[in-house]
Structure 1
Amino acid sequence: MDGMARPITLHQPKRLEIGAGSSARLGVWAENARRVLIIASEHTIGFAERLGLGNKASIFSDVPAEPDDRALAAAREAARALRPDLVVGLGGGSVLDVAKLVAALWDGPQSLDDVVGPDKVEGRRTRLAQVPTTAGTGSEAGIRALITDSTTHSKKAVESPHLLADIAILDPELTWSVPPAVTAATGIDAMAHCVEAFTNIRAHDLIDGYARMGFRLIGKHLARAVENGRDTEARAGMMLASYYGGICLGPVNTAAGHALAYPLGTRLGLPHGLANAIIFPHVLAYNAPVRKEKTAEILEALGLPVFDDESRVLNAAYRFCEDLGVEMRLSAHGADPDALEGWAGEAHAIRRLMDNNPRDMSASDVLDIYRATF
């Protein structure tokens, strides 16, 4: 069953606030909260005062760029000590994912391993607010959370409606200070969410609409946001694009691009956005022969020439990312060429994503892409 006739379920936050200065509205929404736990990172602590929560908020800020089960355990302990009636995620996608799981699990018996997979979270009693400070993952919009296993270095994915935010706030002023390189990489990550859902074998007409709005906003606003971080209109456009990408993840999800990006994060230590930016042109081009019309639509939205040829699609998309200031060579990020084959096997084994790809990709194909990125 294809397209509009295929049943899907779409979850979105109960309330969305968007616009410059909108983060201050959280205090009014949360006026009845008595104990608030803000999950943040060292880079986002400074925004806590803008939320209007006063002295009823405590902060847990020990969330690394790629949080693992140990970081989640520490955050859960902080919640158990405070017993919050509101959990706030204030940061990038990693922070927001940890906040989701803390809100769902802190006062219950389930472990992380108990809830890995779809629909295994038993319930949630604690309200959840999500306030992103980057425009990339769109985690504030969705019902998924990813945590790295500290032993195997693989990603553990949790999916549940109980991870959905009660309120999401998109305040572009919180992204003013994001450096140009990070703005570019996270913006391409948002684009990858939209594009991978759009070209996915599970693509759906409803989600195609969100994906189109997302990558068109990115084509219009990403270069502006990179050039001038205080361009509030461009920052707002990117936050909305990121949100649309997050909506795409729920009923459709990503595909090979994200599967190939994960080992670059867990093994090489690259930030998630950067890993996806490096991979994006290669997978877009790889899938182009079986998604010609949609690839043309993507290229046009990004202001790029429309090509049918796989190599020319790759060159155009690669130049788009490179012109934004992204260092696209794995060798420049310290990758060991001898590690690529192992990473390829690891990426190929992520079947929950690889099986969504519109063109079959072997482990050898994955290795070829890694070598091309090197």
Structure 2
Amino acid sequence: MAAPGEDYRPAYPPKTKPHLSSGIPFPEACAHHITNTFKASRVYIIVSNSISKTENFTKLEKALVGKVAGVRKGIKPHTPWDDLVEIIQDIKEKNADSIVTLGGGSLTDGAKVITFALANDISTLDGLYKLTADAKTQNLKPITMPVINIPTSLSGGEYSAFAGATNTRNHHKASFSHPTMGADIIILDPALSTTTPRGIWLSTGIRGVDHCVEGLCSLQPTVTEETEKRFSKGLKLLAPNLLLTAKDWEAEEPRLQEHLGVVEAMGALGLGVPMGGSHGIGHQLGPLGVGHGETSCIMLPAVLKYNYLHGDEKVRRPQQKVLDILWGEETVAGVLKKRGLNKQTADAGDAVGAIISELGMPTTLKSVGVKREQLDALAVNCLKDRWLQTNAIPLTEKKQVLEILEMVVGDGNSSL
């Protein structure tokens, strides 16, 4: 049931999970659904370290006064298992009956794995492995604890039934999946996101662009008219509005459109379209300290370039869809022209790279602290990721991954 003045609807009808909430301040929406939708009374809040020091967190606590069983301030980037085990044990001790996250992608993925572990009575590092996709454990129990996500980035993880979390023993980012995984309600509040650091908001927006672009360029059999429609709509919402936000940071309408672009992108992703090399390599850059979104800023143009260079017409043709969408948006086309691109000669890697540069996001591994001597081990780890094999050109050999990494190493010593 919606609160007065709230826009409350399923994100992907006829599915009832997740619901989207917008139109009223996030503390009001959260308190309403904790009380009226979930009938919950012992809320466990997972809040980012930075937001925990702000008035936004204070407002949430006041809205939930008398119902907060516990608070966790911060989960480290890329969701390390050690952090998750600590939170799982704390939630069990405090007998919490619901979870609210206020923050970005690491918290969102964390809540998915935490609720999955709680449903299966797991609270150790060894136990978490049993929940990973690699373990292929049978008859895992469904998640029952309700979750509200209040995102402060555009990473989009709150819309999927997948999660990534880093095994701190081997630094491999493992995948978790279950049909019941994910938020019950996602609260979208553009005003809240104006306090998100510029680099995080814009780079995670490019993460959404990455979903759309790799989805549109996918050659997998799960691509359908519906997925192409959603990915196209998502790209049309994300690319121009990110550029508008970069120019006018306080404007709320572009931010809401960006949120809705992520909804479209993740809706298509949820229909089973696998991603490609940008996502697969990005997964393994995470444990090296590269933030959510920054991986897409660096890798997406390079992967597009690699695919175009080594691909046939079947591989190249989908990239034209991306170009048609980007040149068709007036705001985007203005930036592409400003950056010296020509509609007849620029490829998709050029166009996406120009947008990323205009936003001021990182474009090399060197700029995010990854050194040449780390590339060999990184390439080996990348080959373990399932999405390298579903790249438009399957990436099955280390030399292929290294060729892509060479494009973006940024140390001036590339052999290419």
**TM-score relative to the length of structure 1:** 0.89
Larger radius of gyration: 2
Percent identity among equivalent residues?
A: 23
Whether 1:242 aligns to 2:278 is no
1:79, 1:102 within 8 Å by CA — same for their partners in 2?
A: no
- Worse overlay, 57-66 or 269-278: 57-66
Tell me whether 1:215 sits opposite 2:235 in the alignment.
yes
Structure 2: segments with no counterpart, 5+ residues: 1-13, 327-331, 410-416
Aligned residue in 1 for 2:393:
359
Matched, 1:294 2:298: no
Name which of 20, 42, 45 aligns with 1:38: 45
Provide the C-alpha distance between the structure 1 equivalents of 2:105 and 2:367, rounded to a whole number of angstroms.
25
For residue 305 of structure 2, the aligned residue among 269, 277, 285 is 285
| Bigger mean CA offset, 297-306 vs 145-154 | 297-306
Residue 359 of structure 1 aligns to which amino acid in structure 2?
I
Distance 1:227 1:98 in 2: 32
Structure 1: gaps (5+ residues): 1-9
3-state secondary structure, aligned to 1:148: strand
Residue of structure 1 equivalent to 2:356: 321
Matching residue's letter, 2:51 = T
Deviation at 1:186, TM superposition (A): 0.9
Separation in 2, partners of 1:372, 1:342: 17
Aligned to 2:11: none
Count of residues paired in the alignment: 362
- 1:338 and 2:373 correspond: yes
In 1, are the aligned partners of 2:164 and 2:173 still within 8 Å (CA)?
yes
TM-score normalised by the chain length of structure 2 = 0.81
Runs of 4+ in 1 over 6 A off after TM superposition: 306-309
48-57 or 85-94: which moved more?
Answer: 48-57
- In structure 2, C-alpha distance between the alignment counterparts of 1:197 and 1:346, rounded to whole Å: 23
Letter in 2 for 1:70: D
Residues in 2 aligned to 1:283 and 1:277: alpha-carbon distance in whole angstroms? 11
In structure 2, the residue matched to 1:130 is 149
Shifted more, 250-259 versus 153-162: the winner is 250-259
SS of alignment partner, residue 161 of structure 1 = coil
- Could you say which structure has the greater relative contact order, defined with CA pairs below 8 angstroms and 6 or more residues apart? 1
* 1:273 is aligned to 2:293: yes
CA deviation vs aligned residue, 1:94-134 (integer Å, no higher than 9, x gap)? 10111122223225424311111178641222111111111
CA contact (8 A) 1:65 1:94 kept: yes
Q: Tell me how far 1:150 sits from its aligned partner.
A: 0.3
Which of 129, 135, 141 is residue 113 of structure 1 equivalent to? Answer: 129
Is 1:48 paired with 2:57?
A: yes
Matched, 1:256 2:277: yes
CA RMSD of aligned residues (A): 2.4
Paired residue for 2:30?
26
Give the whole-Å Cα distance in 2 for the aligned partners of 1:44 and 1:299. Answer: 37
Q: Deviation string for 1:270-300 (max 9, x for gaps)? A: 1021112100111123334434343222223
Q: Is the 8 A contact 1:186 1:274 kept in 2?
A: yes
Alpha-carbon contact 1:229-1:235 (below 8 Å) kept? no
CA distance in 2, matches of 1:82, 1:213: 43
Q: Which amino acid counterpart does residue 216 of structure 1 have in structure 2?
A: K
Q: Which residue of 2 aligns with 1:97?
A: 109
What letter matches 2:76 in structure 1? P
Letter in 2 for 1:40: V
Distance of aligned partners of 1:253 and 1:156 in 2 relative to their CA distance in 1, 3 Å threshold? same
Mapped contact 1:146–1:158 kept (Cα < 8 A): yes
Aligned AA for 1:116? T
Which runs of structure 2 are paired with 1:107-256 in the superposition (5 Å)? 108-110=120-122, 111-117=127-133, 121-135=140-154, 137-200=155-218, 201=220, 202-250=222-270, 251-256=272-277
C-alpha spacing 1:85/1:225, structure 2 compared with 1 (3 Å): same
The structural deviation recorded for 1:205 is 2.2
| CA drift at 1:246 | 2.5
- State the secondary structure of the residue aligned to 1:272: coil
Could you tell me which of 70, 87, 92 is aligned with 2:99? 87
Asked whether the equivalents of residues 260 and 279 of structure 1 are also in contact (C-alpha less than 8 Å), the reply is yes
